[in-house]
Amino acid sequence: MAKSKFEYVRDFEADDTCLQHCWVVVRLDGRNFHRFAEKHSFAKPNDSRALQLMTKCAQTVMEELEDIVIAYGQSDEYSFVFRRKSNWFKRRASKFMTLVASQFASSYVFYWRDYFEDQPLLYPPGFDGRVVLYPSNQTLKDYLSWRQADCHINNLYNTVFWALIQQSGLTPVQAQERLKGTLTADKNEILFSQFQINYNNEPPMYRKGTVLVWQKVDEVSTQEARLPAEMEGEKKTLTRTRNRPIPLHCDLIGDAFWKEHPDILMEEN
């Protein structure tokens, strides 16, 4: 077909191809979720409904889009790792980023009611996205470790901060003052001596965040079988093995996880 004289404007499109063989990471983060959490009465410091909704959206992203090998989420953020050799949309960064962000945001609204039964969604939430390339397995593992360390540091701080307010009646300013300059050991000590909380017994979803990995699961479905008339109404169960993104709340920083899931970083990926 002949080209129109307008066709040249295509050349104005920037090339945003992600460098070959690098891990492509898309990280999303809720826009102004400080306000969003307040307006929707999120429990402090952790709202399990909100975290589970985030994970549902991330599972939807992994199921709907191509080539995501692992995802990690905490607070109002989720990171998605595309396989090194992915050639999805010719590795265009803008495609990866916008497809992840839009699929995630629409899922957040779509599934809201399943998690917040008594809390109406008051306004449409947004998510920012960025793409970062990691050239080696080590840098990718360090990236995920960084996000999980961030989860740990924030969650330990928030757990003590809100215990001081909710259980000891401190104001936020007083709680902040109390925690100024404290180290990890000090915070653990305050939790234990003042609130009888052993931080290590706090829910792993709060302490570790959520890792999504593909796992084979047997799914059983019941079907109305096409049987002779005298057996009408009998049900037949079908078991199918499917790959699903399964949530884990485990440590990503040590080697154990990567030894248990060697396929994630495999070269063929």
Q: What does the binding site for ligand DGT look like in residue numbers (CB under 6 A)?
A: 29-34, 37, 42-47, 50-51, 75-76
Q: What is the SS3 assignment for 18?
A: coil
User: Which structure tokens are listed for 87?
Assistant: 């050639």
Strand order from edge to edge, sheet including 127-134 = 127-134, 23-30, 77-82, 68-74, 210-224, 235-248
Q: Which is nearer to ligand DGT, 128 or 219 (CB)?
A: 128
Place of tokens 């003052």: 177
Say how many CA atoms lie within 13 Å of 218 toward its Cβ. 4
Q: Which is nearer to ligand DGT, 39 or 85 (CB)?
A: 39
Q: How far is the CB of 50 from ligand DGT (least distance, A)?
A: 5
Among ligand DGT, Mg ion, none, what does residue 160 contact (CB within 5–8 Å per kind)?
A: none
Q: How far is the CB of 159 from Mg ion (least distance, A)?
A: 17
Among Mg ion, ligand DGT, none, what does residue 44 contact (CB within 5–8 Å per kind)?
A: ligand DGT
The Cα–Cα gap between 179 and 182 comes to 5
Q: Which is nearer to ligand DGT, 51 or 144 (CB)?
A: 51
Q: How far is the CB of 154 from ligand DGT (least distance, A)?
A: 9
Q: Tally Cβ neighbours within 10 Å of residue 204.
A: 14
> Checking phi first, is residue 244 left (phi over 0); if not, alpha (psi -120 to 50) or beta?
beta
Residue 200 near residue 63 (C-beta atoms within 8 A): no
Q: Which is nearer to ligand DGT, 52 or 139 (CB)?
A: 52
Q: What is the SS3 assignment for 173?
A: helix
Q: Which is nearer to ligand DGT, 78 or 257 (CB)?
A: 78
Q: Which is nearer to ligand DGT, 34 or 180 (CB)?
A: 34
How far lies 164's CA from each of 38, 91, 243, in Å?
A: 19, 48, 44
Q: How far is the CB of 51 from ligand DGT (least distance, A)?
A: 6
Q: How far is the CB of 137 from ligand DGT (least distance, A)?
A: 28
Among ligand DGT, Mg ion, none, what does residue 37 contact (CB within 5–8 Å per kind)?
A: ligand DGT
Residue 225 near residue 235 (C-beta atoms within 8 A): yes
Please give the biggest Cα pair distance in the chain.
78
Q: Which residues bind Mg ion (CB under 5 A)?
A: 29-30, 33, 75-77
Q: How far is the CB of 227 from Mg ion (least distance, A)?
A: 45
